[in-house]
Amino acid sequence: MTPRMPPEWAPQDWLWIGFPHDADEWPAVLPRAQEQIAAFANAVAESGQEVRLLVRDAANEARARQLVSDAVTLERRSYGDVWLRDTGPLVLCDGSGNRAARRFGFNGWGGKYLMDGDQTVGAQLAADAGLPLDVADWILEGGAIDGDGTGLVVTTEQCLLNPNRNPQLSREAIEERLKRDLGFDRVLWLGEGLINDHTDGHVDNLAR
């Protein structure tokens, strides 16, 4: 069976969450952002789902440990932004229990937010999970797509056809890559996402 990206509600071994660490990215609100992410991690862990909270350095590890329960595992890794859905690996399953990771190019949402570690954290997480890793030859963020588990993927023209992502690729070429790299067989194109969304119309802000 062709490996395919499972839907978000499929059973998971654990959930990775990024802990906010950069005061320049969170001006005047970094402590509150840390508290909110920690509360999110605690809530997920209390549900019975394993949580691995990434922390950037020793100081942020100490801060996170003050905020999360012992049920949350802390892992020190190099990353910039907290949106691991976009910078982390996408996991594929083949229906027989075999899994692999795909990592795509990441350019800071079209060059707007370039932070150290965001280009490499995907490979680090795949290695942590013991997953074989393939690297695709185009730009894609995980939040730009959503699949339903049947082979259908939904995305927006505003994001995937944006010249700040893959200007050399046509609509047809992007469809072919979604099928080749993530196992989808049907693509549902929506138009634009939220106005002023810095991700240029990620579908997860529009429809699930």
Cα separation, 139 vs 110, in Å, equals: 9
Average pLDDT along the chain: 95
Chain-centroid distance of CA 177 in Å reads 18
Q: For residue 83, which amino acid is it?
A: W
Q: Alpha-carbon distance 192 to 201, whole Å?
A: 6
pLDDT at 208: 76
Q: pLDDT per residue over 97-113, tens digit each?
A: 899 999 999 999 999 99
pTM of the model: 0.93
Q: For 203, what's the count of Cα atoms within 13 Å in the CB-facing half-sphere?
A: 22
Euclidean distance between CA atoms 168 and 67, whole angstroms:
45
List the beta bridge partners of residue 152.
186
Please check the confidence at residue 2 and state whether its pLDDT lies above 90: no
- What Rg, from alpha-carbon coordinates, does the chain have? 17
Over residues 27-66, the pLDDT tens digits come to: 999 999 999 999 999 999 999 999 999 999 999 999 999 9
